[in-house]
Amino acid sequence: MAETPRGKRGEEINVTRPCNMPTRPLRPDSLCFTGSRKECGEVTVFDYDVLVIGSGPGGQKAAIAAAKLGRRVAIVDKREMIGGVSINTGTIPSKTLREAVLYLTGMSQRELYGSSYRVKDDITVGDLSARTRHVISREIDVIRNQLSRNHVTLLTGLASFIDPHTVSVRAAGDIEDRRVQAERIIIATGTRPARPDTVDFDGRTVVDSDQILALERLPRSMVVVGAGVIGIEYASMFAALGTKVTVVERRDRMLDFCDVEIVEALKYQLRDLAVTFRFRESVVSVERHNGGTLTLLESGKKLPADTVMYSAGRQGLTDILNLPAAGLSADNRGRIKVGSDFRTEVEHIYAVGDVIGFPALAATSMEQGRLAAYAACGENVNAMRAELMPIGIYTIPEISYVGRTEDELTELAIPFEVGIARYRELARGAILGDSYGMLKLLVSPEDRSLLGVHVFGTGATELIHIGQTVMGCNGTIDYLVDSVFNYPTLAESYKVAALDAMNKMRAVARFSG
């Protein structure tokens, strides 16, 4: 079904115009209706220049970027999922929940006012969800407004390929599909929580990472299966609320891509919140009982709890796309393979975001969407520099890093020096009541460039961008040593850590010079 042309204010207009789009030379005497695919002379005219499937961070930025370049753009998603998983069940609600937990529990103030300090004694799910609903509603409004003012058409429904250029869109309750044809297509469908077939999820006592936001009450005890980013984030939040949390992980450590020292600092803080870790353990089964759940481990351990949350990875949302009709395929985790410009094995189809795999972060998905749109529109773009992508983990306390870890540099035989600043040495750290935070710089002794920056504690995900910028500009720690930072601030930690690294390198130079 053809899209009805609309004016700037959204009113329907009936027009017939020459096929004179600047991106495709057409015969001047040929005429066709905008909004349908027809053969005009030797050129095919599509409904849209760019069709984006999925309105999450990657899809949204791709659609807007293509629209800014003057292309006719449409974006497809379900009515109840505008903004994608990120807005509705993932990034935004989980981070909003974290802020609500920090405020209501008084966690960030306890070092100043005592371990028993709380803003509210009896915290309920309603207290936590009120803030979440408000933020989600606001963010959805922002996205709709951005799409509207950039003249991006929003098509409501589920998308499925008919052929490499044609997609059917079916909205809930519709009898017939709507067919849309586009010259370029960008897939940004995101992921859903992976669910083991052996586990019976009921949304109340056994939940995945999406369902946990809909719990009717706060559990007194919880088993978290999986010590990845999502699992540890929720483990720390519920532990801060007073839930007795046990984390089960089949590997021998959590967050194994992070700096070991930073992870150990986080583990110490979580244990202080009464979190129990069961590493090198696998779950055999989860039994539901009237009084809660019983998790059985391969080692024979039995873990009773009110609730079990599975965080066992994510599955790409590609099963309903009918990828073979477009000449595409996905791996066993539903992920689509792409090249450096996010082009798939089909030349005019691109894929971005969680559906292409690691790092599967909202921030990187946004940039992937922008770059894919530029590539689809024939614009020259610089490839993403993987070493400059910051990683943010919103645990309590939070972690963020950019660049290499100590283990990676050691394995690659790259020499480095370490500079450390601890929040307890900063006036701002004392003001905030954060004595455990730290910033670590990994510095090349050869040219004093930054090889990696790792932050743990209050404001970590904000602070990291100073180091990211210095690395992106090929700067050295000389810049940090010579800079004047506002006082008192946490940003001052960069100067303290840079001086620490500089002094260590001078000590080595005295012996080798």
* Residue 226 assigned as binding residue: yes
Q: Quick one: three-class SS letters along 301-332?
A: CEEEECEEEECCCEEECCCCCCHHHHCCCCCC
User: Is 233 assigned to a binding site?
Assistant: yes
Q: Is residue 106 a known part of a binding site?
A: no
Q: State the SS3 of 247-264.
A: EEECCCCCCCCCCHHHHH
Closest of 75, 80, 132 to residue 103, by C-alpha: 132
Strand boundaries in 153-269, DSSP class E: 153-156, 158-163, 166-170, 178-187, 191-193, 206-208, 221-225, 244-249
Q: 35 among the known binding-site residues? A: no
**Residue 167, SS3 per DSSP:** strand
State the DSSP code for 280: S
Both tokens assigned to 336: 């689509």
Is residue 39 a known part of a binding site?
no
For tokens 């007194």, name the residue.
220
- Cβ neighbors of 341 (< 8 A, separation 6 or more) are 350, 371, 372, 375, 381, 383
DSSP symbols for 391-420:
EEE--SS-EEEEE--HHHHHHTT---EEEE
Q: Three-class SS of residue 140?
A: helix
Answer yes or no: is 313 a known binding residue. yes
C-alpha distances (whole Å) from 280 to each of 252, 258, 428 are 5, 18, 39
CA dihedral sign, ordered 191, 196, 197, 201: negative
71: helix, coil or strand? coil
> Is 403 labeled as ligand-binding?
no
Q: Is 187 annotated as a binding-site member?
A: no
Q: 230 a known binding residue?
A: yes
Q: Which backbone phi and psi does 459 adopt, to 5 degrees?
A: 70, 15
Known binding-site residues for FAD equal: 95, 354
Known binding-site residues for NAD(+) equal: 226-233, 249, 313
Known binding-site residues equal: 95, 226-233, 249, 313, 354
